[in-house]
Amino acid sequence: MKKLLSASLILFSLNSYSNENQDIEGIWAMIPLKNRIANVVQYNADGTSSLYSFNCAKPDKKEPVETSAYSVDKKNKTITLTSGTYHTSLKIIKITKRTMALEQKINDDFSVSLLYAKVSDIAPLCGLYTGEVNPPPKTAYQPADFIPSPVIPPHPQLSRFEGKWMYNNVVQIEVAKDNTGNYILKLDSNPDWNHLYNQVHWVGDELHFKSYAYSDKESLFSHPYHKSLSDTILRLTSGTTMTHSHITGKERYDTELIKQ
């Protein structure tokens, strides 16, 4: 099976958009990114899609399924996904009966190319992962190391999370609206550290996501915080306080934050 999939990937041509085989219905498995993300998406005939999140570092770990409505605009070569007030567009580079190439715009300066193979089962293609499981720590951050996706899905309690949340008078996390009206996670960079977020989802009334930190300073590349990744949970304890939990490996650290 791996040989068949590998051979099919050779057929990808990213310089044109095919006018044939435009039907995207079915199950598509993403070729693993360098950061080990290998999501699987199912496009259904009723106009809904289901996103199954996988990471090849822990391929058996189950993440909540994200359901959206989708539409295909052949004229503008895009797939638009909508869930509540959240929406995103994927540019179609090429699609055939067995393979698909999309481009996701992260911001004005950065887009990500996503390659997919059509499959029969919902399972990650971790056998095709070719990157290093533990990349060298003493290197500068590269866009493929961690792809930011800070948008928070809709939730009845979401507006209560809005604002800057502090510990010892230092902001630790912020929930704010971007210029499209979506709520996002953010933390302003300081001279030493930058922070990124993705895989944002709700578990009950708790907000769960991945946190990533890195430095632009070469002198800090050997610091353990550089290129650090953790599971993070935000849980409101009142209108002005929340518990901020970081989980790294088997260790969990809980901090009480106060709203600014």
Rounded average pLDDT per 10-residue block, the chain, 260 residues: 42 38 81 88 93 89 90 88 85 90 74 89 89 64 92 95 93 94 94 94 96 92 86 95 87 90
Burial category of 121 from C-beta neighbours within 10 Å (exposed 0-12, middle 13-18, buried 19 and up): exposed
The three-class DSSP label of residue 145 is: helix
Distances (CA, A) of 16 to 74, 77, 92: 13, 11, 9
C-beta of residue 184 within 8 angstroms of C-beta of residue 175: yes
What pLDDT score was predicted for residue 1?
43
The three-class DSSP label of residue 75 is: coil
What pLDDT score was predicted for residue 110?
65
* Global confidence as pTM: 0.51
Going by C-beta distance under 8 Å and a sequence separation of 6 or more, which residues neighbour residue 115?
9, 12, 30, 31, 99, 100, 101
What pLDDT score was predicted for residue 16?
38
What pLDDT score was predicted for residue 58?
85
| Of 212, 121, 202, nearest in space to 157 by CA | 202
List the CATH code of the domain at 26-128.
Answer: 2.40.128.370
C-beta of residue 225 within 8 angstroms of C-beta of residue 193: yes
Largest CA distance in the chain: 59
What pLDDT score was predicted for residue 8?
43
Distances (CA, A) of 59 to 5, 143, 179, 231: 18, 22, 35, 16
What pLDDT score was predicted for residue 223?
82
Going by C-beta distance under 8 Å and a sequence separation of 6 or more, which residues neighbour residue 240?
258, 259
Distances (CA, A) of 25 to 72, 88, 124, 134: 11, 18, 18, 35
Six-digit token pair at 194? 């930058």
Q: Could you tell me which residues are beta bridge partners of residue 66? A: 51
